[in-house]
Amino acid sequence: MTGSRRAIVAPVAGTTRDSLARPVVWQGSSFELFDTGGLYGASQDPLHALVVEQGRRAITDADLLVMLVDGREGLVSGDERIARELRESGRPILLAINKTDDKRAQNSMDFYRLGFEPVFEVSAEHGHGVAELLDEIVKRIGAEPPHELAAEANREVRVAIVGRPNVGKSSLVNRLLRAQRVLVSDMPGTTRDAIDVPLTWHRRRFRIVDTAGMRRPGRVASGGKVEMVSVSLAKEAIADADVVLLMIDASEGPADQDAAIGGEVDRAGRGIVIVVNKWDLVKARDTNVAKGFDDELRRKMRFLDYAPILHISALTGERASKVLETIDKVAAARAARVPTPALNKFVESITATNPPVSPGSRHVRILYAAQIGTAPPSFVFFTNVATTFHFSYERFLVNQLREKFGFVGSPIRIQVRRRKARNAPRQKN
């Protein structure tokens, strides 16, 4: 249904352990598909209870349920129990009989006894009947326009979480969900799949993107220890996001690679929040630890002086509630537009107190400014002569813009241009 083979398909019962949420676009409509990891039946899997819990949650969150049964096995007593439980949810239910391509699938008539209508005979592996099932799904849930067409106003904020392995990225996702949709455990490879995790907070919509990427190790060192995620891998996630959470382990401090990733976020014009995780491990040591830690962090990442720093514990939940709040602020700042009159007042006061230094004989004056873009906010300063600003003056302007208008966590771009010649007659020399 998603046109991908993202879920791990293998002939081993219980292979799909996570609840996977994936977007499906069909005939101009879109919806989100949750794949529960198999709800019922005995399992030796130590994570089975968690899988069942996730599945239950998926059922209560869903607008429509598709019950999938095995046409080769035929109706089994477990199916009737599942049907009963699904009915209790009060959600509309479609029944799909899978593996109907198989010669041995001869018992499909039995399934009609479950009393669902309509019944779809499909072959997930070969794709038979899937189009008809999708048609019915979009008909039932009503046409929601695909994401690209959705109004910019309540646009979903795409969030990438980057940082070294074991810094606590999955734990944070879990914490944000308050539901264990992503499984965390010390078993290697527990989170096996690419998942975009949707979240809602105060009616704002977020999507944690590329959670598979965040689990991808850069490479495995000779000792078998997983090294930190490489900058090039982080780049993909950064390019895909509006706001990046750069996670740093409080007990280890920032690494060179963290600074490199931060630089990439800045260059890409994405919003950034520095999340110092595992704060529970260091805070007991001394009360000034936060100040000392942040000073060191700022020193190593001077160019990210605009990034808010949060000290959290994904494990205990301490201050984790600040995370979405801060992402929301940063996303808003990145999309903000300064009204032109306010901007020109700003120019007036700047030029009165701190005009640009003139490199040549003619005085450089800033005449006015305009915001030419958002995400990130971009400004043009128009001057009387063609010039560029000194790096330090550019920095000064950026800092002043921040001070006056906010822009927390967002890079700001500025350009300088000579004011276009007016139609006035030319002055004689």
Report, in Å, the least distance between residue 280 CB and ligand GDP: 5
State yes or no: residue 243 binds ligand GDP (CB under 6 A).
Answer: no
Name, in order, each residue with C-beta under 8 angstroms of 390's C-beta and a sequence gap of 6 or more.
Answer: 356, 357, 359
Of residues 36 and 171, the one with the C-beta less far from ligand GDP? 171
Half-sphere exposure of 40 (CA within 13 A, CB side): 14
Among 68, 137, 314, 412, binds ligand GDP (CB under 6 A): 314
Nearer to ligand GDP, 129 or 168 (CB): 168
253 binds ligand GDP (CB under 6 A): no
How many residues touch ligand GDP (CB under 6 A)?
A: 16
- Residue 254: count other Cβ atoms within 10 Å of its Cβ: 21
Closer residue to ligand GDP (CB): 290 or 336: 290
Query: What is the per-residue DSSP string for 302-355?
Result: GGGTTS-EEE--TTT-TTTHHHHHHHHHHHHHHT----HHHHHHHHHHHHHHSP
Sites for ligand GDP among residues 89-118 (CB under 6 A): none
The binder of ligand GDP chosen from 16, 277, 371, 410 (CB under 6 A): 277
Cβ-contact 233, 218 below 8 angstroms: yes
Residue 345 phi/psi, 5-degree rounding, is -60, -40
Residue nearest to ligand GDP (CB): 168
212 binds ligand GDP (CB under 6 A): no
183 lies in the binding site for ligand GDP (CB under 6 A): no
> For residue 243, what is the enclosing H or E element?
strand 243-249
Q: Give the amino acid at 351.
A: T
Stretch of 106-114, 162-170, 201-209, 336-344 contacting ligand GDP, by CB under 6 A? 162-170
Select from 315, 347, 350, 401 the one that contacts ligand GDP (CB under 6 A): 315
By CB under 6 A, residue 180 contacts ligand GDP = no
Among 281, 332, 335, 380, binds ligand GDP (CB under 6 A): 281
Nearest to 394 by CA among 375, 384, 381, 376: 381
Q: Which two tokens stand for residue 130?
A: 């899937």
Q: From the CB of 291, what's the least distance to ligand GDP, in Å?
A: 20
Asked whether the CA dihedral 162, 167, 170, 174 is positive or negative, the reply is negative
Q: By CB under 6 A, name the one of 2, 43, 166, 230 that touches ligand GDP.
A: 166
Contact 19, 32 (CB under 8 A): no
Distance of closest approach, residue 50 Cβ to ligand GDP, in angstroms:
14
> Residue numbers of the site for ligand GDP (CB under 6 A)?
165-171, 184, 186, 277-278, 280-281, 313-315
